[in-house]
Chains A and B, each alone.
Chain A
Amino acid sequence: GQSLEQPSEVTAVEGAIVQINCTYQTSGFYGLSWYQQHDGGAPTFLSYNALDGLEETGRFSSFLSRSDSYGYLLLQELQMKDSASYFCAVRGNTDKLIFGTGTRLQVFP
């Protein structure tokens, strides 16, 4: 079967750095995406890694290791508005995305 595992919840304070891990087991793999979703809202795209290594976009970075079936999202200089759910998602052999279990991030002042 296919599975993507993430920690269910992470807490941190403003200004801190947080890493959200994702391990996956899928039948095919083209790339790993990360999406942010605030309560009641739509998922918004954060990053996509097709190759091994680190991709940096502002305060957010995403890492992929295909050999380890592992990736992570790194959030730096945390702000209150970063409190949300974060999902990793694998693009398999088709254009479908299979979403992970989701990690709820709570940022405290």
Chain B
Amino acid sequence: GAVVSQHPSWVICKSGTSVKIECRSLDFQATTMFWYRQFPKQSLMLMATSNEGSKATYEQGVEKDKFLINHASLTLSTLTVTSAHPEDSSFYICSAIRGGLAGSTYEQYFGPGTRLTVT
């Protein structure tokens, strides 16, 4: 199968500090990774698309300078929440797609998510 891991699974930080979340594809190379956030009982909201070796593409309304994304290799993307505030508390989930697939199927493989609480 295709496994995506995230670290940490949960984190508590103080307001004003920065937090880095890692997303790794464990058994495949991910040309593209995605970052979502999800508030309780709500849907997944796409934040940005991360492509290896290039700048991330952010969705409208997502602050680039606040949510820094780095996709340094084909198996690792990181999301850094800078100067975190309580309203940034959320469930952050990454996903990855394999390179080279074509045809009638399309699947994103999701990580287990990171629960961020800013106090």
Contacts and interface: CB of A to CB of B under 8 A. Distances in A.
Nearest to B107: A45
A51 B111 contact: no
Nearest to A33: B106
Given A33-B106, A48-B106, A51-B104, A101 B49 contact: no
Given A44-B110, A45-B107, A51-B104, A95 B43 contact: no
A16 interface: no
Interface string A26-57: 00001101010000111111001011000000
Contact of A95 (B97, B104, B111, B112): B97
Interface residues of A, number: 25
Interface string A78-109: 00000000010001001111111110100000
Contacts, number: 54
A98 B42 contact: no
Contacts of B104: 48, 50-51
Contact of B106 (A31, A43, A87): A31
Contacts of B32: 95
Contacts of A31: 106
Main secondary structure of the interface of B (DSSP, over half): loop
Contact of A97 (B41, B108, B111, B113): B108
A43 B6 CA distance: 14
B46 to A, nearest CB: 6
B83 to A, nearest CB: 27
Contacts of B93: 42-43
Contacts of A94: 49
Contact of B105 (A35, A48, A97): A48
B44 interface: yes
Which of B108, B111, B112 has the most chain A CB within a 10 Å cutoff? B108
Nearest to B59: A96
Contacts of B67: none
B115 to A, nearest CB: 8
Given A33-B107, A95-B97, 8 more contacts: A35-B110, A42-B93, A50-B105, A51-B104, A98-B46, A99-B43, A99-B46, A102-B42
